[in-house]
A and B are shown apart, each in its own frame.
Chain A
Amino acid sequence: MKKIDIIKSPFNKSNPITVQVLGICSCLAVTAQLKPAVVMAISVTVVVALSNLIISLLRNTIPPRIRIIVQLVVVSALVILVNQVLMAFVYDVSKQLSVYVGLIITNCIVMGRLEAFAMSNKPLDSLLDGLGNGLGYGIILVILGFVRELFGNGTLWGYPVFEKLGLYNIGYENNGFVIMAPMALILVGIIIWIQRSRNKDLCEKC
Chain B
Amino acid sequence: MEYFNIFVKSIFIDNMIFAFFLGMCSYLAVSKTVKTSLGLGVAVTFVLLITVPVNFLLDKYILQPGALAWVSPSLADVDLSFLSLILFIAVIAAIVQMVEMIVEKFSPSLYNALGIFLPLIAVNCAVLGGSLFMQQRGYANIGEATCFALGSGSGWLLAIVGIAAIREKLRYSAIPPALKGVGITFIITGLMGIAFMSFMGIKL
Contacts and interface: CB of A to CB of B under 8 A. Distances in A.
Interface magnitude class on chain B:
35 or more
Contact of B129 (A22, A99, A193): A99
Contacts of B133: 99
A18 B25 CA distance: 12
A28 B21 contact: yes
Name A's interface SS.
Answer: helix
A103 B92 CA distance: 13
A111 B25 CA distance: 12
Interface string B166-204: 000001000011111111111101111110010000000
Contact of B89 (A18, A105, A185): A105
Interface in B54-92: 82-86, 89-90
Contacts of B124: 106
Most buried by B among A108, A181, A183, A186: A181
Contacts of B84: 102
A57 interface: no
A183 B21 CA distance: 12
Given A68-B123, A182-B197, A204-B182, A73 B132 contact: no
Given A185-B190, A189-B184, A203-B180, A102 B123 contact: no
Given A106-B125, A193-B179, A24 B25 contact: yes
Interface in B17-54: 18-25, 28-29
Nearest to B132: A99
B122 interface: yes
Contacts of B178: 192-193, 196-197, 200, 203
Given A72-B93, A193-B178, A196-B179, A185 B25 contact: no
A121 interface: no
Contact of A103 (B86, B93, B129): B129
A68 B189 CA distance: 30
A18 B185 CA distance: 12
Contact of A24 (B21, B192, B194): B21
B186 A192 contact: yes
Contacts of A197: 176, 178
Given A99-B132, A189-B186, A182 B194 contact: yes
B136 interface: yes
Contacts of A161: none
The CB with the most chain A CB atoms within 10 A, among B29, B85, B86, B185, is that of B85
Q: Which of B119, B190, B191 has the most CB of A within 10 A?
A: B190
A111 B186 contact: no
A185 B193 contact: yes
A69 B91 CA distance: 11
Contacts of B21: 24-26, 28-29, 181, 184-185
23 contacts: A21-B28, A24-B21, A24-B28, A25-B23, A25-B24, A28-B21, A69-B93, A76-B86, A83-B85, A99-B132, A103-B132, A181-B18, A181-B21, A184-B190, A185-B186, A185-B193, A189-B190, A192-B186, A193-B176, A200-B177, A203-B177, A203-B180, A204-B182
Interface of B: 18-25, 28-29, 82-86, 89-90, 93, 119, 122-125, 127-129, 132-133, 136, 171, 176-187, 189-194, 197
Interface of A: 18, 21-26, 28-29, 68-69, 72-73, 76-77, 79-80, 83-84, 98-99, 102-103, 105-108, 111, 180-186, 188-190, 192-193, 196-197, 200, 203-204, 206
Given A189-B183, A192-B178, 7 more contacts: A26-B21, A28-B24, A72-B90, A80-B85, A106-B125, A189-B186, A193-B176
